[in-house]
Each structure stands twice: as C-alpha cells, then as structure tokens.
Amino acid sequence: HTADGEKNGNAHQSYLDDRNTKAQDVVYTTSNGVPYPHPYETQRVGENGPLLLQDFHLIDLLSHFDRERIPERVVHAKGAGAHGYYKTTDSLEDLSIAGIFKEGKECPISIRFSTVGGESGSHDCARDPRGFSVKFRTEEGNWDMVANNTPVFFLRDPAKFPHFIHTQKRHPATHLTHADDSTIFWDYLSQNPESIHQVMILMGDRGIPDGYRFMHGYSGHTMKLINKAGEWVYVQFHFKSKQGTKFITQEDSAGYSPDYSTKDLYNAIEKGDYPGWDLMVQTITAKQAEELWEKQKINVFDLTHVWPQKQIPLRKVGELFLNENVKNYFAEIEQIAFNPSHLVPGIEPSADPVLQSRLFSYPDTHRHRVGVNYQQLPVNSTRVAHRAGNFQRDGSMAFYNQGSRPNYLSSIEPISFRERSVDLDKTHGHFTGDAITFLSEIRPEDFNASRVLWENVFDDGAKERFVNNVSGHMANCTDKEIIKRQIGIFREVSNDLAGRLEKATGVKGYDGISGLRFNGTHNGMAKSADL
Ligand code: HEM
C-alpha cells in the first residue's frame, strides 16, 4: 500500500487488490504484523492460574473486538449494496457541463439500498420508504445521489425531520416500535397534513416493494444543471428500474425472511442476473418553474409535490447496472458515506430548504459515525483524473496525510488551481416566484396528488388493501382523537376514503381539516391564492 503522497486517486484500486487476497496467501499475525503460531494460544500462569498482561496477542484480539461496532446510521440503518457501473447513453451536454454526462462516458458506481426507520437488524419487508443511494466515481470527483424510492417526502420544513423520525423509532418509555403501538406514528402524521401524499404511497401497494431490484429511485428534490454558457435549468432525477416494479402485500410480508431484500440482491448478482436502472431527468427553466407555481400551485422547492410527467416528460440520460457483490460488507457498505453535497461541476443544489439542510447533515453525521477522515477510506475515496490535494491535515486516522507538502497556501511550493468552470454569478440567480414563507402551512393543493392516487390510480383491490393497511395499523393506536384527526385529513383527499376508514376503524372522523388546529402548522389550512 502506498500510504502517502503519490497515489490518492488509486486508493480504491489498491483496496480492491487487497480485498481479493485469498485466505491461504495470508500469514497469521498480531496487528503489528508479527507472525503468531496459533490464534488459540492464551498465556496463563500454570494450569489454572490467571492470565498474563504481557499476552499482547490476546489483548490485541479482545480490545479490537470490543470496538467492532461503529454507530449505526441514525436513519436508514438497515441496508444492502453492491458495485457496478454507469454509462451515459444520451448526451446531456446541452444542459450540463458535468463530464460524466458526455455521450459514452462511464464510471464505477456503488449503490446502497435501505429501509428508513428500523435498526440495522430490522426486517427488510417493513412498510417504509426505501433509500436508493448512488456514488458515481467520476473523473471530476465523487457525485452522490442520496435518493428514495418515492418521489415525495413527509415534510417540506427541515426543522420537522428529527421530530418525524423520532415518531418512526422506538417509544422512549416502552421501547416499542409502531408495529406494536402506532400512537406516536399517527400522532405526528395527524398533526402534519403535508405528509399526506407520502402517507398515501406508504400505506398503498408501493409501501412494501418486492426487494430492491423492483423499485424506482427519485431525487425528490429539485436540483440545478448548468451548461457551458452558464445557463441553468431545474432538474429532478429519476432511476427507472429495468426490472419493473413489484410489491408485497401486508399479509404476505409476514412470511418473508428478515433479510429478504439483501438476499435477493446478492443472489441475483451472484448468478449474473445484473439489475439495472435508467437514469432519467425532468428539466424546466426558472420561467417554467414560476408558471408551475402560478398556474398549478406547485412550488419546485417543496418536495411534498411532484412535477407532472405528462407536462414535463422524462428524458433518458444513461444506464446503470450492479454487477459486483461486495467482498466485505462492513468496509464497502457500512462505512460508505453518501452525501447530497458531494456534487460535481454542472450539478448544483436548488434552494429547496430540506435539501439545503441535508447538505449540512450528512457530512456532519459522517464525521461522527465514521470519523473525520472518512473520505480517506477506500470505499469513499475518489478516482479522479487529476492528482488531488488540499490543506486538510491530521485528525483521527489520518491515513493519507499528504506527505511533506505544505499544509497552508504556500508561495514557496504553490499548489495548482483549475479555473472555475461556470460563472457563479449566473448560476446563483434566484427563483423569483412566490416562495413559501411558512413552509408548514397547509394548502388545498397539498391534497391534489393524493386524490388522483385514490380516484384514478388505485383500482378496487388496491383501495381495499389501502383501507386494510391503514385501519390494521391504526388498530393499536390508543388515542381516538388521533384517529379522528387523521380521518379528517383523509377526508380532504376523498369522502369515500374517509367513509371507508370510519367503517373499518369504527371511529367517526372529523369533517375535514379547516376547523382543526395543528401543532405542525402556523395557522391550519391557508387559502392557496393568498400566499
Ligand atoms: C440517511 C438526515 C431527508 C434519503 C440519512 C442520514 C442522516 C439523514 C443523518 C444518515 C447518513 C449516514 O449515516 O451515512 C436527513 C435529514 C433530512 C433527510 C436531516 C431532512 C431534513 C431525506 C430525504 C431523502 C433522504 C428527503 C430522499 C429524498 C436518505 C437516504 C439515506 C439517508 C437514501 C441512506 C444513505 C445510505 O445508504 O448510506 N439521512 N435526511 N433523506 N437519507 Fe436522509
């Protein structure tokens, strides 16, 4: 291993070499590399005496074992992943200067799929959104897409995220999850009606995808693409499964193995049935974004809403395939760090407040979860065309500490700089349409997409399953007031739906939400035109 200096770009490569070394080519040693005759030789005084402190071999073994676990991800702790490649099949050069979007360009990728709320050992077939994270190792640096399998999210105000997540986790006193006591789960949702579109998806057929291969991925957030001329458009990224989509019903899910999705992905790749996705985009100009707001009340910075695909069609950019299982789960999946602020020139964040908060939150958690030098780990390191260097030094586990090069911007030994690829003044032009000032305000249009799902997308069977899923899950919710409130929210979607839920739960819900006060909003239901 070249520990320092020359080979930054190849760190991943040398790691790949090392992980392929066969067990029989390795000599058993202590951690300082000294060969030891046998792993089971504990040094003891006499036949029944105490152990010796000088037995470094045993202390080395036990003390390392004692430190094996790192904190699990605070969300998305249960997951599975694999490696593969991405290729641009249809140039996106007209819209973005990102080198990876030139026709025919390829790069290695790693993907991690996950559930959201459960712990690292939780069930793969939970009714939960699924994470869909892709690390593109481009020549210009790593670009991460940290996406979900749903195009929308439960909230549009980042301050709500920790509250919301806490209600999906274990109860502070009983330590039960919402599978046993759904009270806090529905307490939050019934106070925060902007979650309704995601609730419709979660409680519907898409709530339990059949493994990770049969689902799509969505950036959810609006991002920006910048071209050579410095012009920019808003973009939503989509990963369309080449396998199509499939789901598991609530009833059937009980019969599946807890590691069903993990196994399914591994086995498919192992037998050469490589899963693939098309990378697609929807793009609009700033002007079109303003019109979307004016005419349809869709704010592109509000990820509880989608961009209608009939109006803003999908455009194919490339394809990705997973063709290599990991050799070491911990090194290659547990320690991988996906971050929405890992972007390359030509792809930028939008002003979406939830995205803006995520830009901070992920590298912050990585410094805590993996350590300050997490980027130096082989699976996180880059495969760039240039030799990378900067002035970050030291800290815990500074494996690659950049040798004797100056650790400040020196005039004696200057480092070289690339010219800025785009004019920042141009790309930071602001969205001038009506922004949402109070992110949490509920408006009539928050229910439109859910109504379309109920009235036009769900067939009779899907409706029945939906009602069973919701009422079944609410059955152990101990506070009737919560159920009344949530039925009131469902009534804004459809009277028919609310009526069926009343029948199934035996609880008479509220007539709608206009008379209700929510602790998740500033002032209940607002009129859309007034904003
Ligand atoms: C994981 C925070 C919203 C998708 C995580 C992690 C944190 C986090 C701290 C753990 C990361 C790690 O330990 O490596 C937040 C915050 C959010 C937010 C603060 C909102 C304010 C979202 C949204 C999406 C999303 C809207 C999807 C569109 C994911 C995925 C992972 C993840 C896929 C798993 C990454 C992996 O596989 O390693 N999130 N998140 N999150 N989040 Fe979020």
- Average pLDDT, stretch 335-355? 96
Q: Which atom of ligand 1 is nearest to the CA of 221?
A: 28
Q: Where are the alpha helices (DSSP H) in 10-106?
A: 11-19, 56-66
pLDDT digits (tens, 9 = 90+) for 48-96: 999 999 999 999 999 999 999 999 999 999 999 999 999 999 999 999 9
Active-site entry in 8, 83, 123, 148: 148
Q: How confident is the model over 117-168, as pLDDT tens digits?
A: 999 999 999 999 999 999 999 999 999 999 999 999 999 999 999 999 999 9
Q: DSSP secondary structure string, 375-419? A: GGSTTT----SSPP--S---STT-SS--TTS-SS--SSSPPP-PP
Annotation says 76 is catalytic = yes
Output the residue whose Cα is nearest ligand 1's atom 17: 358
On the question of pLDDT at 434 being above 50, the answer is no
Tell me the helix, strand and coil percentages in the chain, rounded to 5: 35, 15, 50
- Centre of ligand 1 to C-alpha 75, Å, is 7
Question: Does residue 374 have its Cβ closer than 6 Å to ligand 1?
Answer: no
Please answer whether residues 423 and 226 qualify as being in contact, where contact means their C-beta atoms are separated by less than 8 angstroms: no
- Among 335, 362, 380, which residue has the most ligand 1 atoms within 8 Å of its CB, making it the best to mutate? 362
Show binding-site residues for heme. 362
Q: Which of 146, 165, 198, 305 to mutate to test the pocket of ligand 1 (most atoms within 8 A of CB)?
A: 146
Complex ipTM = 0.98
Q: Is 238 in the pocket of ligand 1 (CB under 6 A)?
A: no
- pLDDT for 464-515, tens place per residue? 999 999 999 999 999 999 999 999 999 999 999 999 999 999 999 999 998 8
Q: What is the whole-number distance in angstroms between the Cα of residue 317 and the centre of ligand 1?
A: 25
Three-state DSSP class for residue 361: helix
215 CB-near residues (< 8 Å, 6+ apart):
130, 132, 149, 206, 209, 241, 245
**412 pLDDT higher than 90:** no
pLDDT of 425 strictly over 90: no
Pocket test for ligand 1, best of 358, 374, 377, 440 (most atoms within 8 A of CB): 358
Residue 46: how many CB atoms within 10 A of its CB? 6
| Cα 50 to ligand 1 centroid, rounded to whole Å | 49
CB of 131 sitting under 6 A from ligand 1: yes
Distance 223 CA to ligand 1 centre (A): 16
CA distance 338 to 411: 35
Residues 83-102 pLDDT 10s: 999 999 999 999 999 999 99
State the burial class of residue 416 (Cβ atoms within 10 Å of its Cβ: 0-12, 13-18, 19+).
Answer: exposed
Phi, psi torsion values for 106, nearest 5 degrees = -125, 160
What is the reported pLDDT for 429? 53
- What's the gap in Å between 305 CA and the centre of ligand 1? 19
Both tokens of 198, joined, read 């995601």
Q: For the segment 216-255, what is each residue's pLDDT rounded down to a tens digit?
A: 999 999 999 999 998 999 999 999 999 999 999 999 999 9
Find, among 232, 225, 294, the residue nearest to 429 by Cα: 232
